[in-house]
Amino acid sequence: MLIINNLKASIEGKSILKGISLEVKPGEIHAIMGPNGSGKSTLAAVLAGREFVEVTEGTVSYLGKNLLEMAAEDRAKEGIFLGFQYPIEIPGVSMVNFMKTAVNEHRKHKGLEPLSASDFLKMMRDKKELVEIDSKLANRSVNEGFSGGEKKKNEIFQMAMLEPKLAILDETDSGLDIDALRIVANGVNKLKRPDNSFIVITHYQRLLDYIIPDVVHVLYDGRIVKTAGKELAIELEEKGYDWIKKEVENNVIA
Amino acid sequence: MEKDQDKILSDVTTGEYKYGFYSDIEMDRIPKGLSEEVVRIISAKKKEPEWLLDFRLKSYRHWLTMKMPTWANLKIAPINYQEIIFYAAPKERKNLNNVDDIDPELKKTFDKLGIPLEEQKHLAGVAVDAVIDSVSVKTTFKETLAEMGIIFCSFSDAVKEYPDLVKRYMGSVVPYTDNFFATLNSAVFSDGSFCYIPKGVRCPMELSTYFRINSANTGQFERTLLIADEESYVSYLEGCTAPSRDENQLHAAIVEIVAEKNAEVKYSTVQNWYPGDKEGKGGVFNFVTKRGMCKGENSKISWTQIETGSAITWKYPSCILRGDNSTGEFYSVAVTNNYQQADTGTKMTHIGKNTKSTIVSKGISAGHGQNSYRGLVKVLKNASNARNYSQCDSLLLGDKCGAHTFPYLEVDNQTAIVEHEATTSKIGEDQIFYCNQRGISTEDAIGLIVNGYAREVINKLPMEFAVEAQKLLQISLEGSVG
């Protein structure tokens, strides 16, 4: 699905990612954890195609294609979805209109006819139910006046609508109360299939109580310093990130 | 609506001005230049009565004493009035009762503009007066409307057939001395639409005038007069286009509206005159005086405008709220892209008691465009309990354009409540990226965001034209973000 090899990237000349390698196979859930400022969101931004991040070295292959050469909207249409850490407000644009445009762009890309208004509305209803989202959200402008929790749930709803092959959730759990957290996690679990994959970026372990990752990576100072199974997340929760930092420093000294 | 929007988005493939073609119609033109002689020729061409010629001459003489106003936030190249042709009309205009009498070339022109002159082909529920250069060529549904006592015809026909109404109301809202361009118009106006809705009648269809400038070096000076008698209602729409030319063309129009007791008039404009090319060459100079008088109690006049065209727009559709409890509204979206300049807004004059006005102005600037809102809210001494709410928003695309706001307030009554809100925002890269990440291209994202921003105003338009307006906004801004 996704192969990242020795990826280095910088923002305004400052090196952030310092050589990341990672492989995500179909059907897998990867968790990327790490302290603030370790480069987690930058990695998500590179994968989604944000232009302010400059890739200086390395390759990213997605479904056999060179991902770094693709425009952001083409990556989206090829099945990459980014759940934003801070979802953006677009005043005056209804969720219905926004999603309809997006869904039909995806369909066009696949050579399908646009959905009729009634089919589209049915799809919205079904997906809303699936991810347990208040149906009123869909009648409002994109994220405008949404609470933090509503915005995050709205990201999961959009993910359900667009049925991505690879979903990257960037700290989708931050700022959520326990109910919202459960809804977000349930959404992911319901959308999980053998042929799609998730990268769940999180600072805390608690999301991983609900979403069971296959692989956990710890990102620190622009590098993946540890990779293990789901037990790593629990260990991190107990011990915090300091022991990782120490371990890294000791390694450097050694 | 949502479905239409999708169609619009997929329809749009090019940012070129779509209406820039020129039609080779046999024209009757008078020599260029302006003089008392020219004013007399125009009047003679139109076989006008003496009183109208006198009105023109009086206006012309007054105009000679005036100077072009310079207070607007516009850079305007000097206009040489001796280089302009003040009258051009398609030849051999018979009495057109039958569509077959219209020059086929002319008919083709309007078909191309999406304004078929055959009633059966036209949008149901919309009557059209088609004006090309200096004359009205066809008014549809005239007979249907006449059955209800509604008069909808060209201004020239009204002068002939309803001289008393014209005499009584013409110049009553915009006097011939009003301003430089209105005075010029009063001297040389050619044609336009006339509309009278009798007492107690709700006009059953949208009335619209489609203005087309076709001939080169020609100015268009149309004049529209709309009278809503007591307890009546009408919704009126005008659209405008012109061929793409390297020279600037002058358009100076007057619209006068009178609303009697309990009458309501909705006046909508989709202005898409040729805006000039990407380097700012050519384009229409659009100097328009539009004013409505809420003459009777409880009357209401509502202006809605979508301004996407013209190299220069100078336009302030206004309301004089004379009747007690009368209401004035102004909803505007003005787009300036490339080198377009717009100085537009409104004037709300509260004279009667309990009068209300609402102003919603949405400016959109892109490229090197300069967009100014200029508005005056004036509350006179006796206008107790007057209320005004003004909201002026500016949206910037890119960093070479400008947005300016000039709100003026003159309040002479202590009981007045006047509110003003203003915002300036930029289309964020974040918003565009958010759309990109959902599979929406940057061009489409801008269309979506801009239409969202303007939605409050677009929603005020009649349905058919709302769709047109959304499409226009998208096209006007294409290529504005690199």
DSSP one-letter code for B229 = -
B391 touches A at CB < 8 Å: no
Amino acid B12: pLDDT: 34
Q: Which residue has the tokens 């999603």?
A: A99
Nearest to B452 among A93, A99, A158 (CB): A93
Phi, psi at residue B249, to the nearest 5°?
-120, 145
Choose the weakest-confidence range: A207-221, B140-154, B244-258, B460-474. B460-474
**Intra-chain end-to-end CA distance of chain A, in Å:** 35
Q: Do B452 and A90 touch (CB under 8 A)?
A: yes
- Looking at chain B, which residue has its C-alpha nearest residue A47? B437
B424 touches A at CB < 8 Å: no
Distance in angstroms (rounded) separating the CA atoms of residues A103 and A137? 17
Q: Do B6 and A104 touch (CB under 8 A)?
A: yes
Q: Give the dihedral sign, CA B106/B222/B249/B474.
A: negative
Q: Which residue has the tokens 């933090």?
A: A148
Distance in angstroms (rounded) separating the CA atoms of residues A56 and A60? 12
Chain B residue numbers touching A73 (CB-CB < 8 A): 435-437, 439-442
B482 touches A at CB < 8 Å: no
Amino acid A192: pLDDT: 92
Q: Domain locations in chain B? A: 2-477
Order of strands, sheet of B206-212, starting from the edge strand that comes earlier in the sequence: B135-139, B126-132, B206-212, B233-241, B264-271, B300-307, B327-336, B356-365, B387-396, B417-426
B11 touches A at CB < 8 Å: no
Question: B interface mutation test: which of A86, A93, A107, A157 has the most B CBs within 10 A?
Answer: A93
A158 touches B at CB < 8 Å: yes
Amino acid A167: pLDDT: 96
- Shortest CA gap A24–chain B (Å): 20
**Intra-chain end-to-end CA distance of chain B, in Å:** 29
CA B67 from chain centre, in angstroms, equals 24
B431 touches A at CB < 8 Å: yes
B47 touches A at CB < 8 Å: no
Q: Give the dihedral sign, CA A141/A142/A144/A146.
A: positive
Identify the residue with better confidence: B31 or B391. B391
Q: pLDDT-based confidence at B6, cuts 50/70/90?
A: very low
Chain B residue numbers touching A91 (CB-CB < 8 A): 452-453
Residue pair B481/B397 in contact (Cβ under 8 Å)? The answer is: yes
Nearest to B377 by CA among B355, B357, B360: B357
CA B222 from chain centre, in angstroms, equals 11
B444 touches A at CB < 8 Å: yes
Phi, psi at residue B159, to the nearest 5°?
-60, -40
On the question of pLDDT at B480 being above 70, the answer is no
CB pairs under 8 A, 24+ apart, for B147-152?
A: B148/B198, B148/B201, B148/B203, B148/B204, B149/B198, B149/B201, B150/B195, B150/B196, B150/B197, B150/B198, B150/B201, B150/B203, B151/B194, B151/B195, B151/B196, B152/B127, B152/B193, B152/B194, B152/B195, B152/B207
- Shortest CA gap B216–chain A (Å): 41
Chain B residue numbers touching A90 (CB-CB < 8 A): 431, 434-435, 448-449, 452
Chain A residue numbers touching B438 (CB-CB < 8 A): 76, 98-99, 102, 105, 158, 162
- Shortest CA gap A51–chain B (Å): 9
Q: Which regions of B338-401 does DSSP assign to beta strands (E)? A: 341-350, 356-365, 370-379, 387-396
Q: Which two tokens stand for residue A50?
A: 């944000």
Report which residue type is found at A28: E
Residue pair B305/B331 in contact (Cβ under 8 Å)? The answer is: yes
Q: What is the ipTM of this complex?
A: 0.94
**pLDDT tens digits along B123-162:** 555 667 777 666 666 677 778 888 999 999 889 999 999 9
Nearest to A174 by CA among A199, A206, A131: A206
Q: Which residue has the tokens 């402008």?
A: A141
Mention every residue, 6+ apart, whose C-beta is less than 8 A from residue B72. B314, B343, B372, B374
Q: Which two tokens stand for residue B155?
A: 């201004």
The number of folded domains in chain A is 1
Burial pattern B340-350, b for ≥16 Cβ within 10 A else e, equals bbbbbbbbbbb
Q: Which two tokens stand for residue B404?
A: 């300016």
Nearest to B222 by CA among B167, B181, B185, B169: B185
Amino acid A205: pLDDT: 81
Domain with residue A43: its CATH number is 3.40.50.300
A92 touches B at CB < 8 Å: yes
- Looking at chain A, which residue has its C-alpha nearest residue B5? A97
On the question of pLDDT at B13 being above 50, the answer is no
Residue pair B135/B93 in contact (Cβ under 8 Å)? The answer is: yes
Q: pLDDT-based confidence at B227, cuts 50/70/90?
A: very high
Phi, psi at residue A48, to the nearest 5°?
-85, -15
Series of mean pLDDT values for 10-residue runs along chain A (254 residues)? 95 93 95 90 95 93 95 96 94 91 95 91 89 77 89 92 95 82 87 94 85 92 90 83 79 58
Mention every residue, 6+ apart, whose C-beta is less than 8 A from residue A168. A44, A47, A48, A80, A81, A82, A83, A198, A199, A201
Amino acid A252: pLDDT: 59
Question: B interface mutation test: which of A53, A75, A85, A101 has the most B CBs within 10 A?
Answer: A101
Phi, psi at residue B450, to the nearest 5°?
-65, -40
Distance in angstroms (rounded) separating the CA atoms of residues B90 and B374? 38
Identify the residue with better confidence: A241 or B171. B171
Nearest to A102 among B438, B442, B451 (CB): B438
What single string gives the DSSP state of each residue in B232-293?
-EEEEEEEEE----SSEEEEEEEEEEEE-TT-EEEEEEEE------TTS-SEEEEEEEEEEE
Identify the residue with better confidence: B482 or B404. B404
A117 touches B at CB < 8 Å: yes
Q: Do B440 and A106 touch (CB under 8 A)?
A: no
* Run of H or E including B403: strand B402-411
Angle between helices B442-453 and B2-11 (to 10 degrees): 140
Q: Do A90 and B2 touch (CB under 8 A)?
A: no
Domain hosting residue A223, numbered range: 2-88+165-253
Chain A residue numbers touching B453 (CB-CB < 8 A): 91-92
Please report whether residue A81 resides in a domain: yes
* Run of H or E including B45: helix B36-45
CA B98 from chain centre, in angstroms, equals 28
Nearest to B431 among A50, A88, A158 (CB): A88
Please report whether residue A137 resides in a domain: no
Amino acid B98: pLDDT: 55
A49 touches B at CB < 8 Å: yes
Chain A residue numbers touching B459 (CB-CB < 8 A): none
B473 touches A at CB < 8 Å: no
| Dihedral, CA of residue A247, residue A249, residue A250 and residue A254, to nearest 10 | 130
Number of CB pairs, chain A paired with chain B, less than 8 A apart = 88
Nearest to B95 by CA among B139, B134, B152: B139
Q: Do B453 and A77 touch (CB under 8 A)?
A: no
Question: B interface mutation test: which of A11, A78, A97, A113 has the most B CBs within 10 A?
Answer: A97
Nearest to A177 by CA among A147, A199, A149: A149
**pLDDT tens digits along B308-336:** 888 889 999 999 999 999 999 999 999 88
Q: Which regions of chain A does DSSP assign to beta strands (E)? A: 2-11, 14-24, 29-33, 53-62, 65-66, 80-83, 90-94, 141-142, 166-170, 197-202, 215-220, 223-228
Q: Global pTM? A: 0.81
Chain A residue numbers touching B428 (CB-CB < 8 A): 88
Q: Do B2 and A97 touch (CB under 8 A)?
A: yes
- Shortest CA gap B429–chain A (Å): 10
